[in-house]
Amino acid sequence: MRARNLWNLGIKELRGLWREPVMLLLIVYSFSLSIYTESKSMPETLADAAIAIVDEDQSALSGRIVSAFTPPYFLTPRMISPDQIDPRMDAGLDTFALHIPPDFERDLLADRHPEIQLNIDATRMTQAFTGSGYVQQIVAAEIAEFTAGHREVTEPAVALALRARYNPALEPGWFGAINSVINAITMLSIILTGAALIREKEHGTVEHLLVMPVTAAEIMLAKIWSMALVVLLASGFAISVVVQMALGVPVAGSVPLFVAAAALMLFATTSMGIFLATVAGTMPQFALLLMLVLMPLQVLSGGMTPRESMPEVIQAIMSLAPDTHFVILSQAILFRGAGLAVVWPQLLALAVIGAALFWLALRQFRRFLG
């Protein structure tokens, strides 16, 4: 293994990438616009939910309730008759149907504890759960205002001071931005190394390298360092310029520590790219394989949904994937401001996974060349 060969081969890879406008465009897009739009478009918990109301009371109170449902949380309520509830919900036209019974206002003021029925299409998870909370709050607030003065007792004066740390307003875009950086790192590092290797094989140039005084390990390491470097610079740019400056997400921890961790992550993912390329052999097969690999990595790593909610088997399998550890570590460093003392287990895991993948890839790479 000689540094000079690594250097020369790596420079060759970089020059090759430079002449590949599609790849460059993909890198630039993934690390800038894609992150920006994804973060900006993270949906608020509830938006434009379709609601229908059956108002059989036709009182002042029911009128207040109807007029309280307004955009952006809800679409303007559609007033329907009771027998329209079922067909409309079956057809998926409404997510919520609020049924205000006859004499609701009178019963309420007479302390008869009337009931309002709220039908929720619970197959629409995103809106069903949070939405029903909103409906409850809106109705309760209107009724409370209406009945103000009617009540004599108060509940105990125990306040709940609820504070979200590290992201006080719980802006979904904050973590969304980081998660898309992580996804871009995984995707590009695998594609860049894998596609570069397959391209070389298709052009017959890999074989040619082997008649020169360079070893398989040198060829592979050169690909790893050069492509990892490109992705690393791009992700550094993404974190400091796109995430911090353009999106205004405050980063609590140390960016250099994050970049160092990203380097370890890249060691693992670029090795994985080479491994997949050697298994696939041709570009279309590689792309098919990529579909089956990237998706689980992105979806099950804990970046999209909380890891602890997944079945234990999946958690166990996914602890072998570099993404899982990198997601944990990025959250800790970037938002909670954690230092080396906190994230060392993840760094260690990344290093071990990276070394294992590198070894596997090198073995497979040698077989691929032979």
Partner 1 sequence: MSGDRSQPGAQSDGPQGPAPVVRIEAVTHRYGRTEALAEVSLQIPAGRMVGLIGPDGVGKSTLLSLIAGARQMQSGRVEVLGGDMATAAHRARVCPQIAYMPQGLGRNLYPTLSVAENLHFFGRLFGHRTAERERRIDTLLAATGMSPFRDRPAAKLSGGMKQKLGLCCALIHDPELLILDEPTTGVDPLSRRQFWELIDRIRRDRPGMSVITATAYMEEAAGFDWLVAMEAGRVLATGTPSELLARTGAPDLDAAFVALLPDTARRGHQPVAIPPRPASAEIAIEAQHLTKRFGDFTAVHDVSFRIGKGEIFGFLGSNGCGKTTVMKMLTGLLEPSEGTARLFGQKLDHDDMGLRRRVGFMSQSFSLYSELTVRQNLELHARLFGMAPGQIAGRVAQMLDRFGLGGCAGDLPEALPLGVRQRLSLAVAMIHGPEILILDEPTSGVDPVARDGFWRMLGELSREDGVTIFVSTHFMNEAEWCDRISLMHAGRVLVSDTAAAIRESKGAATLDDAFIAYLQEAIAADASPESAVSDGPTAASLPAAAPPRPPRGRAPFSLRRMLSYSQLEMLQLRRDPIRMTMAMLGSLILMFVIGYGINMDVRDLTFAVLDRDRTSTSRDYIADIAGSRYFIERPALESYDELDARMQSGELSLAIEIPPGFARDVARGAPVQIGAWIDGAAPARAGTVEGYVQGMHADWLTRMARRQYGDEAIRGQFELVPRFRYNPDVKSIIAMVPAVIPMLLLMIPAVLTTLSVVREKELGSIINFYVTPVTRLEFLLGKQLPYLLAGAVNFALLMAFAVFAFRVPFTGSLTALSLAALLYLVAATGLGLLISTFMRSQVAALFATVMLTMIPAGQFSGLIDPVSSLQGLGRLIGEIYPTTWFIIASRGAFSKALGFGDFGMVYLALGLAVPVILGLSVLSLRKQAK
Site for partner 1 in 41-70 (CB under 8 A): 43, 45, 47-50
The reply on whether position 263 binds partner 1 by CB under 8 A is no
Please tell me the distance from the alpha carbon of residue 100 to that of residue 80, in angstroms, as a whole number.
Answer: 11
HSE, side-chain direction, 13 A CA sphere, residue 85: 16
Which one, 133 or 355, has the nearer CB to partner 1?
133
Cis peptide before 72 (omega within 30 of 0): yes
The reply on whether position 311 binds partner 1 by CB under 8 A is yes
Minimum CB separation of residue 37 from partner 1 in Å reads 12
Minimum CB separation of residue 246 from partner 1 in Å reads 19
The reply on whether position 363 binds partner 1 by CB under 8 A is no
Which one, 264 or 297, has the nearer CB to partner 1?
297
Q: Which residues of 178-210 are buried (b: 16+ CB within 10 A; e: fewer)?
A: bbbbbbbbbbbbbbbbbbbbbebbeeeebeebe
Rg (alpha carbons) of the chain, rounded to whole number: 28
By CB under 8 A, name the one of 332, 350, 357, 362 that touches partner 1. 332
Minimum CB separation of residue 69 from partner 1 in Å reads 14
Task: Say if CB 177 and CB 254 are below 8 A apart.
Answer: no
Please tell me the distance from the alpha carbon of residue 299 to that of residue 277, in angstroms, as a whole number.
Answer: 22
Please tell me the distance from the alpha carbon of residue 285 to that of residue 119, in angstroms, as a whole number.
Answer: 48
Minimum CB separation of residue 351 from partner 1 in Å reads 19
Size of the site for partner 1 (CB under 8 A): 120
Minimum CB separation of residue 216 from partner 1 in Å reads 10
> Which element (helix H / strand E) includes 272?
helix 255-280
Residues 132-161 touching partner 1, rule: CB under 8 A, are: 132-133, 135-136, 139-140, 143, 147, 150-153, 155-161
The reply on whether position 91 binds partner 1 by CB under 8 A is yes
Minimum CB separation of residue 41 from partner 1 in Å reads 10
Which one, 267 or 334, has the nearer CB to partner 1?
334
The reply on whether position 255 binds partner 1 by CB under 8 A is no
Minimum CB separation of residue 31 from partner 1 in Å reads 18
Tell me how far the alpha carbon of residue 327 is from its chain's centroid. Answer: 10
Backbone conformation region of residue 170, classed left if phi is above 0, alpha if psi is from -120 to 50, else beta: left
The reply on whether position 83 binds partner 1 by CB under 8 A is no
Residues 165-224 touching partner 1, rule: CB under 8 A, are: 165-168, 170-172, 174-175, 203-205, 207-215
Minimum CB separation of residue 145 from partner 1 in Å reads 12
The reply on whether position 125 binds partner 1 by CB under 8 A is yes
Which one, 83 or 292, has the nearer CB to partner 1?
292
Please tell me the distance from the alpha carbon of residue 243 to that of residue 233, in angstroms, as a whole number.
Answer: 14
Residues near 312 by beta carbon (within 8 Å), at least 6 away in sequence: none
